[in-house]
Structure 1
Amino acid sequence: MRAWTCGAFIDVDRWLRAAKPWVLLALSAPALWLWGMALADRLGANPAEALIRGLGDWTLRLLCLTLAITPLRRWTGWAALAGWRRGLGLWTFAYALLHLLAYAWLDQGWDGHAVLRDVAERPFILVGVLAVLLLFPLAATSFDAAIRWLGARRWRALHRAVYAVAGLAILHFFWMRSGKTLYGDVIAYAAVLAVLLGWRVWDAVSRARGRAPAATGR
């Protein structure tokens, strides 16, 4: 799609295709910065907690961005955005996995029994772990070969689980913040995800109505 800017045409799709590898590469920077600052003991009084929460924050940001790709593509007509969703989804999984591993290492010292006990005793840990576990099959089937193996219909049904992941992630974040009654960012993320989920429902209903045969009167 071409956009008219400053008296000249810009091929937005071409620009998006060219920028994608650089943007995806740049998404490693927040994790590298957080780990570097933590190892240098420059993340405040509790660098382990700051690292774990920072990785969790980036997981939510990338999840919102991944879910925004399809409606943004539909609204703008920028077809090249379709190629961004897979990379963003894989980065979402990577940050979620780093978040979980940082918790298991820095909070629980790689003690599997302690992790299981924490999961059983603290609901917000349980829903967070469930969200990461749900992301595993989505990441594992994010490639073209998996789509061919599963079939497009089953693949799409499986990947709708990302909305369950979003719900669990917000619940995890809410319960984690509830101890300090800090809900501003929780509300912001929940609002964004609610809008994106609402758009998905509206889009599904609109498509179903479009496929339905017209009623005939007698």
Structure 2
Amino acid sequence: MKAILILIGIIPLIRLFVLGYQDALSANPIEFITRSTGTWALVFLCLTLAISPLRKYTGWSELLRYRRTLGLFVFFYASLHFMIWFYLDHNLNLSEMWSDVLKRPFITMGFIAFMALWPLALTSNQWAVRLLKRNWSKLHKLIYLIAILVILHYFWHKSGKNDYQEVFIYSAVLVTLLLMRVKRS
């Protein structure tokens, strides 16, 4: 089942390659690729956060086996999102990138969220679980802050275009998932 999940997880990337090969990435391919990878990072974030509530309400404990894989797809697509922005928008120019991070709040939020994903991705293995013990669980609670930062990133990005429909949908999903955890505690 995990192999099927991995195959499903790379379908969005394969789709981007196919669209690129067909020269069908829209009039602004850089923007299309950047937004697509960001959207898929957000989708996988929602799916990752949905695992515990789904397990609780369905009793299907098997779901927990897939949370790590889904979480790593969050990091994978967020990394692609960042690298495309850094490489294609800023030509790997660090000073230009930092200027953008410091100047635009939506970039700032996205950057902080991406940096906060690193320790989660690096400790998403059994060795780190054994090494960190109870601190591993505390560290991985950082995902809730990341979810809030991602929504702020997305909201401020869309606010420049007065386009809030998708933001409200993802916000509602994430707020619901976060409230389910608060209620559970």
TM-score (norm 2): 0.96
Aligned-pair CA distance for 1:109 = 1.1
Deviation digits for residues 40-92 of structure 1, max 9, x if unmatched?
Answer: 53111101001000100001100000000011011111111110000000011
| 22-31 or 65-74, larger mean C-alpha shift | 22-31
1:75 is matched with 57
Structural mapping, 1:52-201, within 5 Å: 52-151=34-133, 153-201=134-182
Runs of 4 or more above 3 Å deviation: 38-41
| Pairwise CA RMSD | 1.1
Could you tell me how far apart the structure 2 residues matched to 1:35 and 1:98 are?
13
User: Is the contact between residue 38 and residue 51 of structure 1 (CA under 8 Å) also seen in structure 2?
Assistant: no
User: Is the contact between residue 118 and residue 125 of structure 1 (CA under 8 Å) also seen in structure 2?
Assistant: yes
Aligned-pair CA distance for 1:105 = 1.1
Q: Secondary structure at the match of 1:89?
A: helix
Aligned AA (2:32): A
Deviation digits for residues 137-194 of structure 1, max 9, x if unmatched?
Answer: 001111111111001x211110000011100000000010011100000000000000
User: Is the contact between residue 68 and residue 196 of structure 1 (CA under 8 Å) also seen in structure 2?
Assistant: yes
Pairing 1:26–2:27 present? no
Aligned-pair CA distance for 1:39 = 5.5
Structure 1 gap segments, 5+ residues each: 1-18, 205-218
Structure 1 residues 38 and 106, CA gap change in structure 2 (3 angstroms) = farther
Which one has more relative contact order, counting CA pairs under 8 Å at least 6 apart? 2
Structure 1 residues 43 and 88, CA gap change in structure 2 (3 angstroms) = same
Deviation digits for residues 98-153 of structure 1, max 9, x if unmatched?
Answer: 000000111111111110111111111111011011000001111111111001x2
Aligned AA (1:180): K
User: Is the contact between residue 35 and residue 51 of structure 1 (CA under 8 Å) also seen in structure 2?
Assistant: no
1:14 is matched with none
Could you tell me how far apart the structure 1 residues matched to 2:94 and 2:86 are?
8
Pairing 1:203–2:175 present? no
